[in-house]
């Protein structure tokens, strides 16, 4: 069982096979697989608790419905891990609150309906044959709460959501790693062989391998080893409606693809989110909330109201007040192509990257961690790795998004 502790004087491990910087879902998943591979694994986390920065603001959804074959495969790997979580971690009857109620993309634009046909065809060709293309009427027959304006939908029933808290602590319990809280990485020492140690604010841990899994702070941590990462940070909000009896409990994650607003049932209410265009920003420990967000997604007069495709929200809005709402904000860590960086960092032997999930780290982190460890122990090669850092280097560097972000 993994050990979570605030190391007192003299308790900091002096040496490790691998030190992971960052105790969010990405760092903790990586620690689980490192420890299962027999490596003495230490995670350093600056905050008072694991999973308390970006991971805590996630809407906790997962999907295989991506447009690139690489991301589809990555997410199917994670979904496999979620589906067999107790076997994988060895925790009997582990309950991660897995709900496979589907992801439903909707459009009211006929031009977009044509694009839906192309997207679903691409997904089928990539092996994701269980994505359904629905007409507006077919979608309404299946999900009667939808607006008459909808002209097309894409749906996959195996997508859904879960409890990221349970997944994260399941990985902790199933590992033999040490998780050091209130311990910040402040330096990465290099010698002629590459990485030599991680310097923390509690002392030095000698190691030949470091994993940068510091979420929005990854750029700063990689700079400790002299490496510049192409990461951009954008603020994102998540609104919890604590109680709303009008929300259909069996609804899928319902996405207005024309505006980006999406919601799903949660407890006695729902979670609502949207990626608004914001200016890139610096990493933040506390991401300030914009209290105009609830009005943007709930006011029936707003052009991006959730009621646009799910009209019951227009009635629900009259029943809601601030005490029924809980708003939080976090930062998406983007790469230029909106796909994660998972793998070694050429130029600095022993430096590994697991970051840049571009809004998909809760769902991609577990399989990303598994793949990174295969690279670390030499079971796979970076030349076959679609998430290699190499794709951002040199004159042929990838600079265009390959995925849309929700």
List the one residue from 35, 39, 42, 45 that touches ligand FAD (CB under 6 A). Answer: 45
Q: What is the smallest separation between the CB atom of 392 and ligand FAD, expressed in angstroms?
A: 18
Q: What is the smallest separation between the CB atom of 198 and ligand FAD, expressed in angstroms?
A: 9
Taking residue 30's Cβ as centre, other Cβ atoms within 10 Å add up to: 31
Q: Are 98 and 153 in contact (CB under 8 A)?
A: no
- The two structure tokens encoding residue 202: 């509690």
Choice between 134 and 214, CB closer to ligand FAD: 214
Q: What is the smallest separation between the CB atom of 179 and ligand FAD, expressed in angstroms?
A: 11
209 contributes a contact to ligand FAD by CB under 6 A: no
User: x-or-dash pattern for ligand FAD, window 371-400, by CB under 6 A?
Assistant: ------------------------------
- Alpha-carbon span 243 to 248, nearest angstrom: 12
24 contributes a contact to ligand FAD by CB under 6 A: yes
353 contributes a contact to ligand FAD by CB under 6 A: no
| Beta strands 103-107 and 152-156, pairing class | antiparallel
Q: What is the smallest separation between the CB atom of 300 and ligand FAD, expressed in angstroms?
A: 23
330 contributes a contact to ligand FAD by CB under 6 A: yes
List the one residue from 20, 81, 146, 221 that touches ligand FAD (CB under 6 A). Answer: 221
Residue 37, CA atoms < 13 Å, CB-side half-sphere:
21
Q: Are 22 and 212 in contact (CB under 8 A)?
A: yes
3-state DSSP assignment of residue 21: strand
Q: What is the smallest separation between the CB atom of 135 and ligand FAD, expressed in angstroms?
A: 27
- Describe the strand order of the beta sheet including 341-344 as a list of residue ranges: 3-5, 178-180, 41-44, 18-21, 210-212, 351-355, 341-344
Interface stretch with ligand FAD, choices 53-61, 288-296, 372-380, 389-397 (CB under 6 A):
53-61
337 contributes a contact to ligand FAD by CB under 6 A: no
Q: Are 32 and 179 in contact (CB under 8 A)?
A: no
3-state DSSP assignment of residue 289: coil
Looking at the DSSP bridge assignments, the partners of residue 5 are 180
217 contributes a contact to ligand FAD by CB under 6 A: yes
Q: What is the smallest separation between the CB atom of 277 and ligand FAD, expressed in angstroms?
A: 15
Closest by CA to 177, choosing from 8, 363, 373, 362, is: 373
Interface stretch with ligand FAD, choices 102-110, 112-120, 356-364, 375-383 (CB under 6 A):
356-364
Closest by CA to 189, choosing from 202, 201, 206, is: 206
181 contributes a contact to ligand FAD by CB under 6 A: no
Residue 211, CA atoms < 13 Å, CB-side half-sphere:
38
CA triplet 107, 110, 112: central angle to 5 degrees?
Answer: 55
- Alpha-carbon span 93 to 369, nearest angstrom: 23
Choice between 202 and 391, CB closer to ligand FAD: 202
Count of residues that interact with ligand FAD, criterion CB under 6 A: 42
- The two structure tokens encoding residue 103: 């992801």
61 contributes a contact to ligand FAD by CB under 6 A: yes
57 contributes a contact to ligand FAD by CB under 6 A: yes
User: x-or-dash pattern for ligand FAD, window 80-119, by CB under 6 A?
Assistant: ----------------------------------------
Choice between 152 and 251, CB closer to ligand FAD: 251
Interface stretch with ligand FAD, choices 103-111, 139-147, 188-196, 233-241 (CB under 6 A):
233-241
Q: What is the smallest separation between the CB atom of 52 and ligand FAD, expressed in angstroms?
A: 6
List the one residue from 274, 308, 360, 370 that touches ligand FAD (CB under 6 A). Answer: 360
CA triplet 365, 369, 373: central angle to 5 degrees?
Answer: 170
Q: Are 108 and 310 in contact (CB under 8 A)?
A: no
Taking residue 55's Cβ as centre, other Cβ atoms within 10 Å add up to: 25
Residues that bind ligand FAD (CB under 6 A): 21-27, 44-47, 52-55, 57-61, 184-185, 213-217, 221, 236-238, 273, 330, 332, 355, 357, 359-363, 365
């Amino acid at each position: 069982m993994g050990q979570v502790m605030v190391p007192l004087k003299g308790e900091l491990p002096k040496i490790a096979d691998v030190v992971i910087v960052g105790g969010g879902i990405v760092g903790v998943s990586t620690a689980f697989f490192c420890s299962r591979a027999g490596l003495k694994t230490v995670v350093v986390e600056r905050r008072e608790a694991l999973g308390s920065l970006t991971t805590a603001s996630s809407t906790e959804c997962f999907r295989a419905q991506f447009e690139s074959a690489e991301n589809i495969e990555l997410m199917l790997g994670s979904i496999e891990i979620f589906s067999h979580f107790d076997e994988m971690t060895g925790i009997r009857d582990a309950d991660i609150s897995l709900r496979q109620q589907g992801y439903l993309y909707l459009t009211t634009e006929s031009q977009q309906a044509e694009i839906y046909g192309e997207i679903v065809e691409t997904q089928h060709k990539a092996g994701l044959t269980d994505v359904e293309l629905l007409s507006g009427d077919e979608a309404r027959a299946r999900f009667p709460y939808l607006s008459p304006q909808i002209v097309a939908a894409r749906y996959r029933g195996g997508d859904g959501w879960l409890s990221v808290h349970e997944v994260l602590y399941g990985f902790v319990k199933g590992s033999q790693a040490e998780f050091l809280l209130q311990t910040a990485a402040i330096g990465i020492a290099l010698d002629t062989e590459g990485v030599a140690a991680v310097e923390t604010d509690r002392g030095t841990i000698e190691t030949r391998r470091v994993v940068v899994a510091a979420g929005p702070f990854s750029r700063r941590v990689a700079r400790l080893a002299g490496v510049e990462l192409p990461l951009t940070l954008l603020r994102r909000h998540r609104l919890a409606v604590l109680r709303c009896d009008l929300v259909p409990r069996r609804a899928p994650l319902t996405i207005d693809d024309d505006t980006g607003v999406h919601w799903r049932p949660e407890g006695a209410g729902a979670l609502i989110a949207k990626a608004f265009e914001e200016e890139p920003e610096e990493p933040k420990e506390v991401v300030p909330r914009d209290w105009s967000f609830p009005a943007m997604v709930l006011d029936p007069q707003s052009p991006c109201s959730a009621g646009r495709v799910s009209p019951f929200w227009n009635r629900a809005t009259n029943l809601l007040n601030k005490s029924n709402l809980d708003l939080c904000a976090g930062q998406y860590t983007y790469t230029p192509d909106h796909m994660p960086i998972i793998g070694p960092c050429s130029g600095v032997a022993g430096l590994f990257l697991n970051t840049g999930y571009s809004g998909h780290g809760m769902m991609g982190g577990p399989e990303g961690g598994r793949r990174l460890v295969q690279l670390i122990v030499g079971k796979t090669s970076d030349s076959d790795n679609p998430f290699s850092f190499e794709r951002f280097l040199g004159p042929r560097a990838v600079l265009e998004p390959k995925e849309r972000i929700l």
